[in-house]
Amino acid sequence: MTDSLTSFLRTNTQLNEDELNEVLQYFKPRSYKKNSIIIFKGDDCDQLYFVVKGCIRTYYLAANSAEKTRYIAFNGSMGTALSSFIDQTPSIEYVDALDNTELLSINRKHFFMLVAQMPEWAAFYIRFLQSAYVQQANRIAQIVSLTATERYQNLLANKPYYVNRLSNKVLASYLDIAQETLSRLKSK
């Protein structure tokens, strides 16, 4: 189960083999059934997840109870309720499993212990935060500056697997458009 995480860390860090093995020992397997909520709004998030198989997403509930998807993590990527993980405040979002999902998770205590002890893990954390920031800034820019059609076309051009893997409900939530609008765009 750790093969994909090992590959991910070899690609995204400069950890030597001893450091890599030490990091890997702190990741624990977890499995979730499709549509299981992993983190509820209000929970203190103390886990960072690596998706081995399946898919997780982070989302908010708007005042009208509509879901607003912030981030989706497919196989080979990481995700969590990041602001809660970082500052240990109650989560303002939910994290759920969109498929039957196998994860490897590291708890906050061990994650930040490694940040303090290993310069290469600290460098990975900085790159992880930079990537998260850029992704979210780009998403916000798209939502506020592009039409629904432009957002859908951009997704098709850059992440076509989202359209193939996600339900219309989740995809519409991610694009911040109505499901009816998404259906019209898909039929064109």
Residue 32 is part of a domain; what is its CATH number? 2.60.120.10
Tell me whether residue 66 is in a domain.
yes
Q: Is the pLDDT of residue 74 over 80?
A: yes
For residues 91 and 43, the answer to whether their CB atoms sit within 8 Å is: yes
pTM of the entire predicted model: 0.93
Q: Range of 58's domain?
A: 3-116
Tell me whether residue 77 is in a domain.
yes
For the segment 130-187, what is each residue's pLDDT rounded down to a tens digit?
999 999 999 999 999 999 999 999 999 999 999 999 999 999 999 999 999 999 999 8
pLDDT at 101: 98
The SS3 call for residue 50 is strand
For the segment 19-30, what is each residue's pLDDT rounded down to a tens digit?
999 999 999 999
Look over the chain and give the mean of its residue pLDDT values, rounded to a whole number.
Answer: 95
pLDDT at 10: 95
Question: Rounded distance, CA 65 to CA 155, Å?
Answer: 25
Question: Rounded distance, CA 42 to CA 110, Å?
Answer: 22
Tell me whether residue 39 is in a domain.
yes
pLDDT at 64: 84
Tell me whether residue 188 is in a domain.
no
Tell me whether residue 152 is in a domain.
no
For residues 47 and 107, the answer to whether their CB atoms sit within 8 Å is: yes
For the segment 152-164, what is each residue's pLDDT rounded down to a tens digit?
999 999 999 999 9
For residues 176 and 68, the answer to whether their CB atoms sit within 8 Å is: yes
Tell me whether residue 147 is in a domain.
no
Q: Is the pLDDT of residue 116 over 80?
A: yes
In terms of Cα–Cα distance, which of 84, 104, 86 is closest to 25?
A: 104
pLDDT at 58: 97
Q: What does residue 147 show for φ and ψ, rounded to 5 degrees? A: -75, 165
Tell me whether residue 74 is in a domain.
yes
**How many structural domains compose the chain?**
1
For residues 49 and 80, the answer to whether their CB atoms sit within 8 Å is: yes
Tell me whether residue 34 is in a domain.
yes
Helices 17-24, 119-145: axis angle to 10 degrees equals: 70
pLDDT at 142: 94
Amino acid at the residue 161: Y
For the segment 20-67, what is each residue's pLDDT rounded down to a tens digit?
999 999 999 999 999 999 999 999 999 999 999 999 999 999 888 889
